[in-house]
Chains A and B, each alone.
Chain A
């Protein structure tokens, strides 16, 4: 039986990072992957969606002839090319991960892992059993299905199927106005699909600061996406063309007929297939329980990424993977402060935020003060013909700490790293205001909002 210092189950952004780090730390490392290296993020999430969103951006730009001085007849958009480009991008990145694994001397096993004990796993279908002094579980999550509307891969689909489409439907209903739902709404509507989004909560992107959600709703609707908030899907029934979806909002009920229904209501951890009952691991509400060092209740087993339910983002999985590997090596690690991890939505407009929302800050008893700086006056944003949205800083008066930074507008996902750094280094809004930002950039508006908090904004 092959023995390893560290076995990692799952080759996604959590697993492959943990495996590479473990190997760097001198451990003999194995990685078990049942499908594709890179996991959900690389193959069916982050990466292909960003590729499709770029194509959608180009498609959108081609409609702006009047603004930019061009015209032509017979514009034809070919979504199948957008799809195939997204798959090529995925393939190139998967190859990179494969080389990372190879060049770090990590032994790759293909198959599904099942625990036989706290230190042994059996790999399906080969039946091989391997043992590890430490095992890091990074098996990810799968989409939650809507009760009463099981996926059929045709009319009722999830994000995986959505990314596989080589042709778009004429109409679609998206259940769930979170980042994934709104990203698909953006791509599809830009390619001419009639999109309706149904969201149970009162706001789109319900986890964002309310001011952001309200602006996002306005912009999405301006971009031609129909949205119903505070609305529940009561029933989904198959029809010849696709499906009839019964949506109720308060007293009103209506039936919306579409070709495809995309269900994007969240994920649930892949804890079922691992045979965790053969270990000392504790699973609560489907998630593997972990401490701040990613240790489970079994001394040899760690769990990182979506499967521990802390925060379902790829960069969180990677950060947790580093912590797990370093903990196994006996190093001290800093616990993650989850609300200070940035989260991004790549729809149009983009949304990016880090830290607390205004409401959360108030609930936590801070002496809250906020400042907004709209992009409408920002020179770079105007020059790029993309000046909707704003910066909102949530801070507290006593120690001038930055509690949260919330951005909505063009390119803001690239801007959030700066504020994330300032919060991580605990550098307060006075220091942010003092930090000279390059001109002309959209990022200047962040500095301007900080100036406003200091009481001396110049441009607003």
Chain B
């Protein structure tokens, strides 16, 4: 596993304490997991994603990610409705390890309440939560 200094903390996403991120994509938002999360998990074998049109609240579990050594729940950084899932991850779950912020995106949602975005952390604040 990498040291904090070696991890990526991209600036163009907002982070949730449970290691998911959200970023604007057109009129919808993409959600994935952070570089820290994929590094902790190790080689990812399987990503269980929700059905289209499923609706979740902020903080609710929307999926599961399974790696060689463990499995981890995935939590919504903001509430919303699923409008797309990354089907590439079915055959190539390792995209999450390799490009957690871009090709490793997991779900695309229509946000229910935009004000929930304010409660999210920026890169620096998220990184701080990892050190404490």
Q: Which residues of A contact B (CB under 8 A)?
A: 88, 91-92, 95-96, 99, 103
Main secondary structure of the interface of A (DSSP, over half): helix
Q: How far is the CA of A95 from the CA of B93 in the complex (A)?
A: 10
B46 contacts A92, C-beta separation under 8 Å: yes
- Closest B residue to A93 by CB, please name it: B45
CB-CB under 8 A from B68, the residues of chain A are 96, 99, 103
* Neighbouring B residues of A103 by C-beta, 8 Å: 43, 68
Q: Does B39 contact A (CB under 8 A)?
A: no
B residues with a Cβ closer than 8 A to A are 43, 45-46, 66, 68, 93
Residue on A with the closest CB to B67? A99
Q: Is the CB of B66 within 8 A of A99?
A: no
15 residue pairs A–B, Cβ–Cβ below 8 Å: A88-B46, A91-B46, A92-B45, A92-B46, A92-B66, A95-B45, A95-B46, A95-B93, A96-B45, A96-B68, A99-B43, A99-B45, A99-B68, A103-B43, A103-B68
A88-B46, A95-B46, A95-B93 provided; 5 other pairs, C-beta below 8 A? A91-B46, A92-B66, A95-B45, A99-B43, A99-B45
CB distance from B48 to the nearest CB of A (A): 9
**Distance (Å) between the CB of A308 and the closest chain B CB?**
31
Give min CB distance, B132 to chain A, whole Å.
31
* Cα(A99)–Cα(B93), bound, Å: 13
Instruction: List the A side residues contacting B46 at CB < 8 Å.
Output: 88, 91-92, 95
Instruction: Report the Cα distance A96→B42, complex, angstroms.
Output: 12
Interchain nearest-CB distance for B69 vs A (Å): 10
Separation of A92 and B67 alpha carbons in the complex (Å): 9
C-alpha gap A332/B93 in the complex (Å) = 42
A96: shortest Cβ distance to chain B, in Å? 6
Q: How far is the CA of A88 from the CA of B49 in the complex (A)?
A: 13
Q: Which of A88, A91, A95, A96 has the most CB of B within 10 A?
A: A95
List of 6 A-B pairs having minimum Cβ-Cβ separation, nearest first: A95-B45, A92-B46, A99-B68, A99-B43, A92-B45, A96-B45
State the CA gap A343–B92 with chains docked (Å): 36
Kindly provide the distance from the CB of A430 to the nearest chain B CB, expressed in whole angstroms: 42
Collect the chain A residues with CB atoms within 8 Å of residue B43's CB.
99, 103
In the bound assembly, the distance between CA atoms of A99 and B46 in angstroms comes to 13
* Assembled-state Cα–Cα distance A92/B90 (Å): 10
**Complex interface: chain B residues within 8 A of A92 (CB):** 45-46, 66
Residue on A nearest B48 in the bound complex, by CB: A88
Output the least CB separation between A47 and chain B (Å): 14
